[in-house]
Structure 1
């Protein structure tokens, strides 16, 4: 039976231990500061920093890094984030293992999951992948409370390394837990199991037409 967990960043020692106990299907809300970007150039730059040991302008160790898009508008000298919308995480498979291992986030997420190399890094580091509702921007955007910091501002807003203050962001679903269990693996197995029956029905339909 799935449970709803309210996580507060930075994580307390008790909540850090709790991450290991999260299971696929559990629901999570997040309050605190989260770092977001959907930029491929941004991910390349982050992976290079992890590889070289260079410091990022924000510390992801023990924190959250999500594939969430946002546009920041300047209003009377104040940076205002206008929305949150999840991006497909598989676009970043090439860089996520280095980011997870080298930069130390304990929560990552977006939509669509990650590949086996990334899952291995999550398991090794005790990191959890959260799936945010695709098309759920109106719900997710309610959590926005402000911009904590903005870096690499030569990029468009959605590609920048943005740290946002959020309150009860979610709910998001644990889709890959810290032990390497993945909802996407289960779906793949189910799809392969159903494929022969589907092909058989298509064959019968062609023969009867």
Structure 2
């Protein structure tokens, strides 16, 4: 399969508008420009859930923004502030239990990471009008080159890659729409395709085992 031509890759501003989120389809490829919020921390998402529930004060507005499961290696350079040296996606399924509440509670238009999200998250995204962007695992140099500015850093009591960090990026990606705002999921399609093939695979294994035992 050939790589997509540049004219087939959309370039969209962040925060992603609801209209743009709804215009995307699973499998589309996108470059992102603007501000997004990243964290790789489960404790961070647990704090965000507490904010949705009113048990903790939110350090910055998250209504309608993009919240991405991106880990970062950072340092606080004297006289230069907080510097993100590189970032890389972390596995989104770790956050399955929390994401439906965060998607609905903050009205998120975009989430992302690697590995996708479960059916409950897909339903929340469909209700709200939110997409899931799939980032290339191990693509730290490509993703890090898109960072233009660290806009803000919150919850500094956490280790750096768990903090709630807002970045300004330029041409981040390309990322793939792994789950669209209409309930279509590339991950769900792959899982179903694998399940559909399983009976034939098991039958073939049984046949091969039977032949092997017959020739002993």
How far the C-alpha of 1:84 sits from its partner, in A, is 1.2
For the 8 Å contact 2:151–2:167, the answer to whether it is kept is: yes
Q: Distance in 2 between matches of 1:137 and 1:155?
A: 22
Unaligned ranges ≥5, structure 1: none
* Structure 1 vs Structure 2 CA RMSD: 1.5
Give the aligned partner of residue 27 of structure 2: 25
Give the aligned partner of residue 174 of structure 2: 171
Q: Does residue 124 of the first structure (1) align with residue 127 of the second (2)?
A: yes
Give the aligned partner of residue 76 of structure 1: 78
For the 8 Å contact 1:50–1:102, the answer to whether it is kept is: yes
How far the C-alpha of 1:38 sits from its partner, in A, is 1.1
Give the aligned partner of residue 205 of structure 2: 202
Q: TM-score, normalised by structure 1?
A: 0.92
- CA shift digits 1:49-91 (9 cap, x unpaired): 1122754212121211100000211223222101111111010
Give the aligned partner of residue 8 of structure 1: 13
- CA shift digits 1:10-64 (9 cap, x unpaired): 44xxx53122110000011111111011111111110111122754212121211
- CA shift digits 1:128-186 (9 cap, x unpaired): 11100111112111111121111111111111111111111111100111111111111
Q: Does residue 85 of the first structure (1) align with residue 88 of the second (2)?
A: yes
Count of equivalent residues: 205
After the TM superposition, list the runs of 4 or more consecutive aligned residues in structure 1 that deviate by more than 3 angstroms.
none
For the 8 Å contact 1:51–1:98, the answer to whether it is kept is: no
Give the aligned partner of residue 56 of structure 1: 58
Q: Distance in 2 between matches of 1:77 and 1:202?
A: 64
Q: 1:65 aligns with which of 64, 67, 77?
A: 67
Give the aligned partner of residue 192 of structure 2: 189
Q: 1:34 aligns with which of 29, 33, 36?
A: 36
Q: Distance in 1 between matches of 2:98 and 2:56?
A: 16
